[in-house]
Amino acid sequence: MNYDHILIRYGELALKGKNQKFFIRTLHANLQQALSDYKGLSIKGQRDHMYILLNGEDPHPIIERCRDIFGIQSFSLAMKVDLDEESIKASTLAALQKEEGQTFKVVCKRPNKDFPKSSQEVNRVLGGHLLRHTDDWEVDVHQPDVEIRVEIRHDAAYITSGKIQGKGGLPVGSTGRSLLLMSGGIDSPVAGYLTMKRGVKIEAVHFHSPPFTSDRAKQKVEDLAQTLTKFGGDVTVHYVPFTELQQKIFKEIPDYYGMTVMRRIMMRVSEQIARDRDILSLTTGESLGQVASQTMESMNTINEVTNYPIIRPLVAMDKNDIIDVAKSIDTYDISIRPYEDCCTIFVPKQPKTRPRREKVNQFEAPVDFTPEIEKALNEVETVVYKNQTTQQTETFDDLL
């Protein structure tokens, strides 16, 4: 008897009450998409678990890929057997015979309370059966080499040994969409990842200033978006040409307030893109106190131009912890490639670290940025990065 299933446990998803069906459907669709090149698999969603019927496929690369999918607490290789004692006995014996070690323990869980034996009784009966039919194994209930788990569910019993942790979180797409302001730096991709982990489908906006920023800088953003696709399927990026706006800021606004005004314009443009696409929030990689644009005064002044909700997943994180996440999701090496960002090119040597609302409003009042903002919005280039390797360019209008 061989493992013929991957059993998937939901964790937090199992607590979602009335919305549970929707969450499970979303996870199912995400798994289907991530595994679309495996033609023989079949994925079945149940109320309390999901399973992948392997149909002869090697389970290990499949689990490896699914570990990047949010909404999964853990995986186990499983044998699905009929809900009768003899089948369960035969399968647990086959499972133990595949293992190496000297001591074992049977751990039964019984979500299906209609099954005639309690979990304690199942443990006892199966433990005795395994001892009688093997030579070298002994029971150790405290520190066994091998745990044989028996899950008595409504549709069948699942015999498993070993448990592989998933990433937890909620399935991407189950809690809405957010527009991520993504630079080429370390922080914003991590902010995107953490937001995705709470079930949010991310689109990104990137401001660039050709010819002052190069194709190399844009390539970083493309690579970051492509890397994020493994967690949430397609990632759409809107590239906003920012050169004219930055030149106008440079010309019309006093040097030390240039950064604040630039961020405020980024917010206005991003909010407009989000509104046009029915996206209900913005996400940034800001973390309190890291740099000049991220002091409390700065956030307060930049925030003034929008009443859109802004998700800041990193706001209370230390830089070292952010870097650890960036490394674990493979964005760090891309983010540290040297490049010129639109912000670093036009930014004054000494930006105001504690900007004041009255001051910035006073500087902005005589300047009308609206024509340049509209022009930039009309010239947005939108690219959809696909999970895996495919990629296509569409115009902004195609996607509306």
Ligand X SMILES: Nc1ncnc2c1ncn2[C@@H]1O[C@H](COP(=O)(O)OP(=O)(O)OP(=O)(O)O)[C@@H](O)[C@H]1O
Question: Is 346 flagged in the annotation as binding?
Answer: no
Is 263 annotated to bind ligand?
Answer: yes
The answer to whether the beta carbons of residues 267 and 312 sit under 8 Å apart is no
Is residue 206 annotated as involved in ligand binding? yes
311 contacts ligand X (rule: CB under 6 A)? no
Residue placing its CB nearer to ligand X in the complex, 185 or 241? 185
Give the residue at shortest CB distance from ligand X: 185
Q: Between 174 and 294, whose beta carbon lies closer to ligand X?
A: 294
Long-range contacts of range 312-316, CB-CB < 8 Å, 24 or more positions apart?
312/191, 312/283, 312/284, 312/285, 312/286, 312/287, 313/190, 313/191, 313/194, 313/195, 313/283, 314/187, 314/190, 314/191, 314/194, 314/285, 314/286, 314/287, 315/286, 315/287, 315/288, 316/287, 316/288
Binding of ligand X at residue 182 (CB under 6 A)? yes
Residue of the chain from 80, 206, 220, 264 that contacts ligand X (CB under 6 A): 206
Who contacts 233 (Cβ-Cβ below 8 Å, separation ≥6)?
Answer: 30, 33, 34, 172, 173, 201, 387
Residue 185 makes contact with ligand X by CB under 6 A: yes
Q: Is 260 in the site for ligand X (CB under 6 A)?
A: no
Q: Give CA–CA dist 67/154, Å, rounded.
A: 26
Residue 199 binds to ligand X (criterion: CB under 6 A) = no
Q: How many residues bind ligand X (CB under 6 A)?
A: 20
Residue from 283, 232, 311 nearest 70 by CA: 232
Binding mask 291-310 for ligand X (x = CB under 6 A): x-xx----------------
Per-residue binding letters, 113-152, with ligand X (x by CB under 6 A): ----------------------------------------
Q: If binding is defined by CB under 6 A, does position 243 make contact with ligand X?
A: no
- Positions touching ligand X (CB under 6 A) are 181-183, 185-188, 205-207, 284-286, 290-291, 293-294, 341-343
